[in-house]
Amino acid sequence: MKVAVLVGPIKVIFLRGILSIPPHAGKGKIFARERRLKRVDLRLEMTKKPLKCWALSDGRQGMAHQALGLAQALGVNGDVQVTAKAASLAGWVGRLPEALLVSRAINPLAHLTPQSDELSAERPDIIVGCGRHAMALSVAIKRKANRDGHEVFIIQTQDPRAAAKHFDVVVPPAHDDLIGPNVIPTLGAVNHATTEKLHTGADTFAAKFKALPRPLVAVLIGGTSHAYTLDADACANMARTLKALQQETGCGFVVTMSRRTGTENEKVLREALTGDGTWIWDGKDPNPYFGMLGLADHIFVTTDSTNMITEAAATGKPIHVLNLPGGNAKFRRFMQSLRARGIARPFGGTLKSWAYEPLAEASRVAALIRRKLELDPSSSEEVPEAAE
pLDDT at 307 over 90: yes
CA pair distance 256, 254, nearest whole angstrom: 7
Which domains are delineated in the chain?
50-192+364-372 (3.40.50), 195-346 (3.40.50.2000)
Distance of CA 294 to the CA centre of its chain: 20
pLDDT at 36 over 80: no
Q: What is the pLDDT of residues 130-164, one digit of tens each?
A: 999 999 999 999 999 999 999 999 999 999 999 99
Higher pLDDT, 41 or 34: 34
In order of 17, 99, 115, 357, the CA distances from 129 in angstroms are 18, 16, 18, 28
With beta carbons less than 8 A apart as the criterion, state whether 30 and 41 touch: no
Q: What is the pLDDT of residues 213-263, one digit of tens each?
A: 999 999 999 999 999 999 999 999 999 999 999 999 999 999 999 999 999
Q: What is the pLDDT of residues 189-218, one digit of tens each?
A: 999 999 999 999 999 999 999 999 999 999
CA pair distance 298, 352, nearest whole angstrom: 9
Give the CA count within 13 Å in the CB-facing half-sphere of 99. 0
Give the CA count within 13 Å in the CB-facing half-sphere of 268. 17
In 243-382, DSSP assigns E strands to: 252-257, 278-280, 298-302, 319-322, 344-346
Q: What is the pTM assigned to this prediction?
A: 0.83
In 45-183, DSSP assigns E strands to: 51-57, 80-86, 126-130, 153-157, 169-171
Q: What is the pLDDT of residues 46-81, one digit of tens each?
A: 456 899 999 999 999 999 999 999 999 999 899 999
With beta carbons less than 8 A apart as the criterion, state whether 2 and 45 touch: yes
